Amino acid sequence: MSASMDLSRMCSVGLLTHECFDDLGNFIVQAEEAGHDFVVTPISHPTFRRVLNEDNATDKETQENWKDRPVFNRNDLVIKSAEWSGKAIGLLANWIHLDSTNAEIRLCSELALKQEIEWACHISLTGLIFPSLPKGSLFNTARAINNAVRSMSFTQFLVRVPLTDKSAVQSNLPWKQWNRLRTLTEYNTKIGVVLELTSELPIDEKLLNMWLAEPVKAVIVPAEIFVENSKGYPVLTKPHQKFIKKLMDKMKPDMIVTLPNTPIHKLATPSSYSEYISFLNRNLPELQDVDKFATGYQDYLQAPLQPLMDNLENQTYEVFEKDPIKYQQYEKAVYKALMDRVEHNSDIVTTIMVVGAGRGPLVNCCLRASEKSERKVHIYALEKNQNAFVTLQNAKADVWGDKVTLVFADMRKWKPATQCDILVSELLGSFGDNELSPECLDGAQKFLKEDGISIPANYTAYASPLASTRLNNNVAAYKDLEHYETPYVVMFQQVCELAAPKPLWEFSHPNKQIDVEPMNNLHNVRYSQVSFDVEHDMVMNGIAGYFESVLYKDVMISIRPETHSPGMFSWFPIFFPIRTPVQVPQGSTVTMDFWRLTDAKKVWYEWTVSVYGSGGQEMTVLPIHNVQGRSYYVGL
């Protein structure tokens, strides 16, 4: 249990009722007394259903008058005034049938929906919940909702989606209906999800985790899914607890409980259910350093660094030097290299060149490794950023002394007098080669003796298909081609990987294939095609990229989820958008084609995605993105 409670992680807890209370104020007071922050209640009484005129009981004039100017009779309303609007979320009528085959019922359903929404907006309700989506076609439902939410600003529109369908618990039927709705409404940011948990959960965790990629703004935990513990109190099963905690951690949704009509848990009181939810909320797994470091950056799109073209700022160095793991791994790598290269008690001085020394953290690593291994070293610290170079001079004057020689130069151009035994660099980006480590080390490897060691020895780019409504919308908000063809560095939060990442390509150093002065950069061109089998119906919004790097022998650093160096926070993943969301039907194969390309002045990526059915038929092919680096490139 965490010592101090983090208020920023606490979810509001509300009480849902389908009953239509005449005295709503009284119900709200009672709900608050039982520890609820808000209530969820129908907006109108079932009497309002007469406007559908299903039984033709209403005279034509009355009906036509209503259709022309829909106005509420106050007796039809449960939420009668703005008095409680801050405390209440409204349930939209569950009898509307927007995809009825009867045109008149469709039309009147839409008018009734609009009438409820307009009233809710008029009294500034914070939220509205649309009933569970019908099975089958919901094209007119989607069209009507899409039109109706256009005028909404303050009030949030949520669609109720059960986690599972009774007829097929181990599938994602309700998600498919939601997916169809949001595809038809083009990821309308005014439409969110309230996810209703069910007693049975799918066993395949993917079917749960895919909700992390959806705009889940609230979660309903009905009393009926609670079980009784040995003492008679209502509790949730372990899988339910785990899933709810994950939702709380990633989405911070409003939590909504219900009370049973007739008692089902012996010792339950009206506050038991909300208290249990709050208990789970207080007991989320503690935040990691990396999470704290990343606060505010989750799912935020950052442009990747271009350290070759731009000089880093002091603050950037400051942040990255604090990584508790990265420099530990570098120290280990240098230590092992020294141990392998020089015998104990030898007088040999190993020459180490740190290329791109920044403010000196790698120099310190090398010095610590030298001390620990009891091997003598001399270090050249090379840096092209004039500002960082001042800090290096300070360190040399104050700490390093003669053990370190400073060189102010660009590693691609410097001509050293001697060669080194070990070349140490930290030029990796989130995708490995995306900050031009290959090009820089091509230039620097002439500093290295024939049998010298490069740390890192190699690095591999990984990619996987990703779903994320939030990332999709963040890119779409820019409304231009460029942002759809630019990779971003992102701390993933509300995302779901459709399949585990696969390797695209690798770079190894030193590269024995190239000349001392390579004429051009063609040897750093890469192309890879990778395919992923997808078991469930899913949607894809982009590509997640990672790297994995061998520093030296078994010393690695990695941000690939499966092998992520624990606690290392220097790199967030990289995210490559795609220009339209892609439907990925059950049993189909997602193929990605990825290129790393270059001309005399720049390096860029191009990528595309295609989907094939189980019979191999082409379902979707996206155009190749970022043709000739038109939207994004890294300058040489």
Catalytic residues: 426, 435
Cβ closest to a second copy, residue 23 vs residue 480: 480
Shortest CB 603 distance to a second copy, Å? 14
Question: Of all residues in the chain, what percent are helix, strand and coil, respectively (each to 5)?
Answer: 35, 30, 40
Shortest CB 73 distance to a second copy, Å? 19
Shortest CB 456 distance to a second copy, Å? 22
CA pair distance 596, 573, nearest whole angstrom = 18
552 marked among binding-site residues: no
Question: Which is nearest to 464 in space by CA: 414, 402, 538?
Answer: 538
327 marked among binding-site residues: yes
CA pair distance 571, 432, nearest whole angstrom = 10
Cβ closest to a second copy, residue 203 vs residue 522: 522
Cβ closest to a second copy, residue 283 vs residue 528: 528
Cis upstream peptide for 456 (omega within 30°) = yes
H or E segment and range at residue 331: helix 326-341
Look-up of token digits 């039809």: 76
Cβ closest to a second copy, residue 183 vs residue 328: 183
Cβ closest to a second copy, residue 78 vs residue 161: 161
Cβ closest to a second copy, residue 351 vs residue 626: 626
Cβ closest to a second copy, residue 63 vs residue 156: 63
Longest dimension (CA), the chain: 107
204 marked among binding-site residues: no
Shortest CB 384 distance to a second copy, Å? 26
Shortest CB 184 distance to a second copy, Å? 5
User: In Å, how far are 297, 331, 336, 405, 422 from 372, measured between CA atoms?
Assistant: 37, 10, 10, 21, 17
Cβ closest to a second copy, residue 370 vs residue 598: 598
- Tokens of residue 208, six digits: 């749960």
Q: Which residues bind a second copy (CB under 8 A)?
A: 64-65, 67-68, 103, 106-107, 137, 139-140, 142-143, 146-147, 150, 176, 180, 183-186, 515, 519-520, 522, 525, 527, 529, 537, 580, 583, 585-586, 593, 595, 606, 608, 613, 617-624, 627-628
H or E segment and range at residue 253: none
Shortest CB 383 distance to a second copy, Å? 30
297 marked among binding-site residues: no
335 marked among binding-site residues: no
CA pair distance 257, 276, nearest whole angstrom = 10
Shortest CB 525 distance to a second copy, Å? 6
User: In Å, how far are 95, 195, 257, 425 from 363, measured between CA atoms?
Assistant: 71, 52, 57, 10
H or E segment and range at residue 418: none
252: phi then psi, degrees, rounded to nearest 5: 45, 60
Shortest CB 557 distance to a second copy, Å? 27
Shortest CB 452 distance to a second copy, Å? 23
The total of other beta-carbon atoms located within 10 Å of residue 417's CB is 4
343: phi then psi, degrees, rounded to nearest 5: -75, 160
Cβ closest to a second copy, residue 348 vs residue 481: 481
DSSP 518-563: -SSSGGG-EEEEEEEE--S-EEEEEEEEEEEEEEETTEEEE-SGGG
Shortest CB 376 distance to a second copy, Å? 40
User: In Å, how far are 261, 271, 488, 489, 601 from 299, measured between CA atoms?
Assistant: 41, 35, 10, 9, 31
User: In Å, how far are 180, 446, 449, 583, 614 from 533, measured between CA atoms?
Assistant: 22, 44, 45, 13, 9
Can you state the angle between helices 103-122 and 60-68, rounded to 10 degrees? 50
Contacts of 466 (CB under 8 A, 6+ apart): 213, 492, 495, 496, 497, 498, 540, 541, 542, 543, 544, 575
User: In Å, how far are 166, 331, 537, 548 from 456, measured between CA atoms?
Assistant: 53, 12, 40, 11
Contacts of 448 (CB under 8 A, 6+ apart): 353, 419, 420, 421, 423, 454, 510
- Tokens of residue 494, six digits: 């509300």
Cβ closest to a second copy, residue 100 vs residue 302: 100
Amino acid 177 reads Q
DSSP 47-101: GGGGGG-TT--S-HHHHHHHHHS----GGGBSS-SGGGGGGEEEEPPTT--TT-S
Q: What residues are designated binding site for S-adenosyl-L-methionine?
A: 317, 326-327, 383, 410-411
**Annotation: binding site:** 317, 326-327, 383, 410-411
